[in-house]
Every structure is written in structure tokens, then in C-alpha cells.
Structure 1
């Protein structure tokens, strides 16, 4: 509410609804952060899965503070499933992500296909919304899915650790015209 404008409209009269003046809020387009988490067995080997889950909690907290919509897709074994959203998280903490387990194969195509469906539906609902895809993976997959076309921005969080690094996360990010961030470097 704009108090100076309201008081000027009221003058000496008693305050009525017709005197109230409000500022228009220009919130701009909304944002959707679609997080896709690799829950395959290879993510457990050197603590990559725990690292990815910790980073997810921090990113969910940031999205909540920005009042952005978020979605979480977990893929592992032979499937991909939507675990949260898309919605603005009212609260978020480790209790939501702790039960997510890992094991089995790396159905990267299934995870990205599920994300592509979600992003497509979000684009139909709100074409002005900015849609960001975040992939958390160690890149230990032989699958090479196409970039979801409704993702405005793509960030691949490279969770690969070890002496011998395959580098597939960096290659995938380049193929998708996105950026690749090292999960270890984000902890610093």
C-alpha cells in the first residue's frame, strides 16, 4: 500500500476503501527449477550421492527464498519418478531428501524424458516462465538424451570423483549449450 498517496486521497475525511492506493507489483515472469537427480549405484561409490543431496537441499532453500517453483525428478534402477512439485516449496529440509535411495542402473534417458514432459507442461501453463534444468550426475551412463527443448537454461552438476574421470558431464553440458559445474567446487 502506498501510504502517502492514500493519505493524500483521504485528506481530512474518514478513511474509506475508495481512498486506498496500492503500488502495482511487477514480479516479472516466474521461474521453475527442475532438478534431476541421478540415483544410480555409481553415485554411491565415493560419496557423490550424499554430496548431490546436500547441494539439492541448498538449492531448494535458495529457490524457496526466491519463491520459485521447483520440481525434483529422481532416476535410478530402471525408472524415473517425480518426487516433488512443480510447486513453490513452503519449507524444505533434509527430511524430504533423506529417504531417496540409490542403486541399480543409470536410466538417464528416462530421467531427462520425464523432465522434458514436466518442462513442456510448464511451458503450456505459463509461456513466460523461465525454466531451468539442473542435472546432478557422475556421467556414468552410455545414454545420450536430447536436450529438453523447453529448458531455457541447463546446468549439469558434475558429481564424478576419482583418479580417472570420464568427463561425460562436461561433454553433455556442451552438447546441450549449458554450463557444467563441479560439485566439489560448489562446497568451497
Structure 2
């Protein structure tokens, strides 16, 4: 993603490159010069019972609204996959979220198990279809979860960048988001690191 400087800094790739370091010039990433190809942000939201504790699901929904607003402002496409209970389903997109707001997320409830692998499989299908339709499109996969799953899904082949947003807040942490992020070469953030 690093390359010849363009006119505009691409902040999300820059934050991924920066990780926990102090921001330096070497971390800067610049917007690609092929605006026709666009960007897809595929969000995978954990709606399991464990996300209901400590208002984690409510926090995730709030963060999701902010991320959808950013996608819409930059004319990027977005998709939303929700997983919980027995499976996963595509709730939105891929499309440019022109009228996205909290009314879309209010009916998304929580409960049941954490079928992370189902959520990742559903997202992989969205990303694969996007790769066929728009091969030059840059595809981001965002996984918002507390990691309370024993699933070990495989990194989707068509995800150019992956970001885990770790909502785990238990006194004894399992650290599964960090384990998966390390295995996938993905960025890992706490929710408050993305709210600005």
C-alpha cells in the first residue's frame, strides 16, 4: 500500500501501518489514483450473547455507524454481515451507504453462541463476489467481536486488508482477537482507538 505519495493521505491504511507506534512519515499511506476502482468495507458484527454484557454490542453499533458514515463520505461501498446464535446473514450491501443511520442497526439484536466462522464465511462470499465484479477494487474486512469463540476461521482470500476491533473486556482475557490478528497479518484495535 505504500507507494509514490499522492495528494491525499489515506488515514485507515496509515493507522494500520502505525499500529501502536508513534506516527512517523514511514507510516503514511496515500490514496490510490484509480478512483473508478473504489473501496469496499465489509463489516462483520458479532451479535452473540457475550456481546450483550457491558453494553459491548451497543458500543459496536455506535462505532459501526461512525465507520459507515466515513465510508459514505468517501463514496466507498460498505457491507454488513451479522453473526450470532446459529449462523450469519448479510444485512446490508455491498452498496454506498448514502442514507445509513442508527435506524438500520436498532433492530439488530444479540444472543446465542458466537459462530465466528459462519460470519467470516459469509463475508468471504461478499468479498469474492466483489473481486469478480470489480477486480481493481480495494477490499477491507472489519471484524467487530469480543473473540469469545473457539472457531479458527481461515483468512478470506479476497480481503486486501483486515482489521480486528477487539471488544473483549473480561477480567480474564482469552486474547483470541490478538491470536487471529497475528495469524492473519491483520491490524488489531480497541474500539476507543478508532473513535475520533
* Range into which the TM-score falls when normalised by the shorter chain: 0.7 to 0.9
Equivalent residue for 2:121? 113
Deviation of 1:27 after TM superposition, in Å, equals 2.1
Equivalent residue for 1:176? 184
2:67 paired residue among 51, 59, 64: 59
Q: Does 1:40 align with 2:48?
A: yes
Distance 2:35 2:129 in 1: 22
Give the 3-state SS of the residue equivalent to 2:54 in structure 1: coil
Change (3 A) 1:26 1:137: closer
* Structure 2: segments with no counterpart, 5+ residues: 1-32
* Structure 1: segments with no counterpart, 5+ residues: 1-24
Give matches, 1:52-131, under 5 Å.
52-131=60-139
Change (3 A) 1:125 1:142: same
Distance 1:155 1:86 in 2: 18
RMSD: 1.4
Q: Does 1:143 align with 2:151?
A: yes
Change (3 A) 1:37 1:26: closer
8 Å contact from structure 1 (residues 159, 184) kept in 2: no
Q: Once superposed, which parts of structure 1, at least 4 consecutive aligned residues long, lie more than 4 Å away?
A: none
Deviation of 1:184 after TM superposition, in Å, equals 3.4
Give the 3-state SS of the residue equivalent to 1:35 in structure 2: strand
Give the 3-state SS of the residue equivalent to 1:46 in structure 2: helix
Q: Report how many aligned residue pairs link the two structures.
A: 164
Distance 1:113 1:155 in 2: 16
Distance 1:176 1:92 in 2: 30
Q: Deviations over 1:54-99 (max 9, x none)?
A: 0000000000000000000000000100000000011111101111
